[in-house]
Amino acid sequence: MYNFEFEKPSNIADAVAALGGDEAQALGGGQTLIPTLKQRLASPTTLVSLSGIPEMQGICRGDDGALCIGGATTHGAVASGAGAYPALAALASHIGDPAVRNRGTIGGSLANNDPSACYPAAAMASGATIVTNNREIAADDYFQGMFDTALDEGEIITEVRFPVPEAAHYEKFVQPASRFALVGVMVAKFADGVRVAITGASEDGVFRWAEAEAALSANFSADALDGLTLPADTMIGDLHGSKTYRAHLCGVIAKRAVAAAA
């Protein structure tokens, strides 16, 4: 690691002020950033920890019924405290291992936007709203490509609001060493239709499968996905699986997700 200063503000205003310094970087649970620093792939002059801000922690229900989760809430806390949205709680309970779940945060995961992370699929399938210190961003507008988001420099995720669907399930085909998703599919059924989001598969990061959404909105059953395929050309191809393999796996995992949700 390089030398850096460390600040741990107790409120959002102080955190934003600290991030205004030259080459300051926010630190959530550190599950991605700390290994990056160890490999000297990043060299911020100041790390601003968000873990000591009470207003960014915890889970509650909003006036509109949405599940509101503070940006500094750990995966473990989501797993145990998001009972009003069982599919989201189950998703969080299978992120990484206990050490990761006890340190990693939902805001950190969404800010990093790893192409194989689980929360991006949950946010997009749920039609979630990402709340920052400056604004509210719809999930469909927030994710902008691999490791790329709509966040501006120094902007932090303070809360994520999840509408609670009538039925939902997240199915993940796990890469056993990392516990990331080779392919992960979140299916969420609402009164006005079904949303399907896929992570781990595409070079462009998380995405919605429009054809599957249309088919499932008309018939919410795994059989509705028969004959639907995704193009392989934009899929990730690596030592874990070819582009064609991942494209095929999307359909298989989507069917499992629908069957479990239905």
E strands, the chain, where?
Answer: 5-7, 24-27, 46-49, 59-61, 67-70, 129-132, 136-138, 143-145, 148-149, 157-162, 167-174, 181-190, 193-199, 207-208
CATH class of residue range 167-261 = alpha beta
Res 38 pLDDT > 90:
no
Select the CATH number that applies to the domain covering 5-49 from these four: 3.40.50.720, 3.30.43.10, 3.40.640.10, 3.30.365.10.
3.30.43.10
What number is the average pLDDT over the span 120-146? Answer: 97
Query: Strand pairing of 143-145 and 148-149?
Result: antiparallel
pLDDT of residue 80: 97
Residue 3: other Cβ atoms inside 10 A? 6
Weakest-pLDDT range from 133-137, 191-195, 238-242: 238-242
* Strand arrangement of the beta sheet that strand 5-7 belongs to: 5-7, 46-49, 24-27
Residue written as tokens 């949700």?
Answer: 261
List every span in the chain annotated with CATH 3.30.390.50.
Answer: 167-261
Weakest-pLDDT range from 25-39, 86-100, 119-133, 241-255: 25-39
List every span in the chain annotated with CATH 3.30.465.10.
Answer: 55-162
**Which percentage of the chain shows pLDDT scores above 90?**
84
pTM beyond 0.85: the answer is: yes
- Residue 143 contacts residue 114 (beta carbons within 8 Å): no
Length of the chain: 262
What is the tens place of the pLDDT at every residue in 164-206? 999 999 999 998 888 889 999 999 999 999 999 999 999 999 9
Residue 174: other Cβ atoms inside 10 A? 14
Which helix H or strand E contains 81, and what residues bound it?
Answer: helix 75-81
What number is the average pLDDT over the span 238-261? Answer: 96
List every span in the chain annotated with CATH 3.30.43.10.
Answer: 5-49
Q: Does domain 55-162 have CATH number 3.30.465.10?
A: yes
Half-sphere CA count of 10, side-chain side, radius 13 A? 0
Which residue type is seen at 113? N
Query: In the structure, what pLDDT confidence band is assigned to residue 85 with cuts at 50, 70 and 90?
Result: very high
Q: How far is CA 147 from CA 63, 213, 226, in A?
A: 32, 25, 32
* Strand arrangement of the beta sheet that strand 193-199 belongs to: 167-174, 181-190, 193-199, 207-208
What's the rounded Cα separation, in Å, for the pair 202 and 115? 7
